[in-house]
A and B are shown apart, each in its own frame.
Chain A
């Protein structure tokens, strides 16, 4: 076909053979449309492959097989992969898990590249990378057919083989600035596509005559450098998900061999093939319409189908019981935390489970051990509490620091969540408990003392634990991680705000540049979010949910920073469109309070975290809260303030 010739991807006879088979012949493969009737009337199935399988874990029993399809509708090409129903050999693989991985008709407009792996031993697989930078897990073709798959794609849309890696095929989305960059670098040719801004209309139908034919021609000098830049861009954005990395790690050795082979291939390929494929035109510009707001490199809204997304119902008592052995130990704490990450826990279980999440109880402790710990800690609490309770009024007169600290706490507890029934009304005993616990804490950690914001952090804990000593110790555990937020020199806050700015730079450079231009790189508008873990940004019950999710430290102990970015990303267009300055931005952010969709933001945050991968982790300096501090020394300097 026309396209095939243009891009000359057919490096062997198989390609040609595969492309000979018309799309219609595949559509007739006896599709049982009852169970997979995802296609609308006018859709045409141009490719269908059974037994295409993903490997969510390294266990053979947990693989999920399904059917891969390419569907064409209104000259747009979609890919879908639907797992088979009810043939799971494994009870651990719930239908929900399967749904999680289902790929429902992703348009090729959303796909950046396809990487194929055709090892000599083992299954062939492809990794599909979305324009967001996220990737689906490897799709293993148990019955072969990777070539046929690529060929079929090629018949319907424009793809080009990466000049750097013969196994990577770039899908051209000219709407995407990144892709545009790539195109101009990698597709040196004249393209004049005057298209509507809708990203779904980007695909070129094969008969679209707008593409200039690529003929053989000499390569221009500058093109090597250009290619290097494009590779950097690729490296930065085409991050394979951590998931994909995990599942492919088993193939590491194989991949290495593979890559080696690919490199060898490349060398030989380049000399023989580059010339006919590459022609450099002086006009590599793509016509584009003016957009007022730089588009989001991760294109968030389109991402909802990328995985990990659906939140689960909270962990209930029956499921919780399955995590405990007969003596009360949590057998697989990591699995539990992961489960909680995706759905939180039911309210009635919070009292029990928060103590583990916060680290007050060791996860491998038994019922009996916990009972013992509780008794010991109760009396230890009383001991510390007694230290300030025994200060007589006379003594207090000569103890300014104590008086002031006490005054500050007392002024704050009466301003903490008073509209909540649990804390409302005059002489509320729970408000008194807040005071006692905070005062005791300021003696437990005298150097850190009391700082505004702590009452916000304690309030939900007391609300859940409903017990003074237990609340105290859970609060102590929380402060072990968040204490640096309240350091006198504010270094804990500054390091988080700094990390946040680095992450935004990584994940949304247009937004970063905007903040830079507006002199907002100090990210003070996120100060409240971080200081008290979004306590004031959500309704009370949402805060409880968010906190237990953050405390799982899955997929990162710094997920809260990705939550910040997720919220900012949802507002980025408005922020930039309205040209918000430092003042207006701060006010705008403060007023988002109560208007943030927690589930959506958590899904985005996870995706962002996965997408940032190691680059994200590298943007966060060691010791940034809630990581434990790097040095062992006293972190609470106490020379500059009385309280």
Chain B
């Protein structure tokens, strides 16, 4: 199997169960939304190729289970992350309150070399629900929290409608690059699944 030289950027998506992590990832990679995704058990990832200034990168996006009980598995998955995406549901207060916990948990388990400057991105998801009428966390509040944590970039998204998803991941990839630039690795073509393999999996299979 031929292998090409790539740069791998590893991104971890965290947030409470049901905030839409799996949906966001699939919307970004496969441009699709399905309300038949199952709750994530364990972990999985999708990959997507992105281009910056004539250079190709492979974005490896990790989706883990949201329930706190499974956090002890995290350490195995967080290792080597280049960017961490924190997701909450703008309609669920608790999911916003948890952001701090997710962020700290990540820093402990991934133990990045420079935690102060480790790139995070926050997404307030499901802005489409009920035309925004059921939302309980205001944009202002969310931005304030992001500012307090070292100016974390913030996006309001809808995985369902595909709002702001592409834009958010552009920034995610770019920020991952700031620390992921150095690692050059060989990737066999087989895991270059962003476009074909995983697409079938995510949509066709009920698993």
Contact = CB atoms under 8 A, between A and B. Distances in A.
Interface of A: 404, 407-408, 411-412, 414-419, 451-453, 455-456, 486, 488-490, 522, 524, 527-528, 531-532, 536-537, 578, 582-584, 586-587, 590-591, 593-594, 641, 643
Contacts of B206: 417, 419
B41 A453 contact: yes
18 contacts: A412-B17, A412-B39, A415-B38, A419-B206, A452-B39, A452-B67, A455-B39, A524-B43, A524-B73, A527-B43, A536-B41, A536-B207, A578-B1, A583-B45, A583-B191, A586-B44, A590-B201, A593-B205
B197 interface: yes
Contact of A591 (B60, B72, B76, B201): B201
A435 to B, nearest CB: 14
Nearest to B66: A452
Nearest to A642: B68
Nearest to A486: B69
B205 A451 contact: no
Contacts of A641: 68-69
Given A451-B69, A490-B70, A524-B76, A415 B191 contact: no
A527 B1 CA distance: 29
A522 B37 CA distance: 27
B67 A586 contact: no
Contact of B67 (A408, A417, A489): A408
B42 A594 contact: no
Contacts of A404: 94
A536 B38 contact: yes
Contact of B41 (A408, A452, A591): A452
Interface string B60-96: 1000011111101100110000000000000010100
Contacts of A522: 76
Contacts of A417: 206
B36 interface: yes
Given A527-B73, A593-B205, 16 more contacts: A408-B17, A411-B39, A415-B39, A417-B206, A419-B36, A451-B69, A452-B41, A452-B65, A452-B70, A456-B38, A456-B41, A490-B70, A586-B44, A587-B191, A590-B42, A641-B69
Contact of A537 (B77, B188, B207): B207
B18 interface: yes
B117 interface: no
Nearest to A531: B41
A442 to B, nearest CB: 13
A407 B38 CA distance: 16
Contacts of A587: 44-45, 191, 193
Contacts of B18: 407-408, 411-412
Contact of A584 (B44, B68, B190, B201): B190
B137 to A, nearest CB: 15
Contacts of B44: 586-587, 590
B38 A451 contact: no
A407 B136 CA distance: 15
Interface string B9-36: 0000000011000000000000000011
A593 B207 contact: yes
Contacts of B45: 583, 586-587
Contacts of B38: 415-416, 456, 536
A584 B191 contact: yes
B69 A488 contact: yes
A536 B188 CA distance: 27
A518 to B, nearest CB: 12
Contacts of B207: 536-537, 593-594
Interface in B158-180: none
A578 B197 contact: no
Contacts of B43: 524, 527, 586
By CB atoms of chain A within 10 A, which of B197, B205, B206 has the most? B206
Contacts of A451: 67, 69
A527 B65 CA distance: 12
Contact of A411 (B17, B60, B68, B69): B17
A528 B42 contact: yes
Contacts of A407: 18, 92, 94
Interface in B87-109: 92, 94
A303 to B, nearest CB: 29
**Which 7 interchain pairs have the tightest Cβ spacing?**
A411-B18, A593-B207, A527-B42, A536-B207, A528-B42, A528-B41, A452-B67
A409 B41 CA distance: 15
A578 B188 contact: yes
A396 B77 CA distance: 36
A590 B191 CA distance: 13
Contacts of B69: 451-452, 486, 488, 490, 641, 643
B197 A415 contact: no
B83 to A, nearest CB: 16
Contact of A452 (B17, B76, B197): B17
Contacts of B188: 578, 584
A583 B60 contact: yes
B70 A418 contact: no
A397 to B, nearest CB: 13
A453 B37 CA distance: 14
A332 to B, nearest CB: 38
B61 to A, nearest CB: 12
A405 B205 CA distance: 28
Contacts of A590: 42, 44, 201
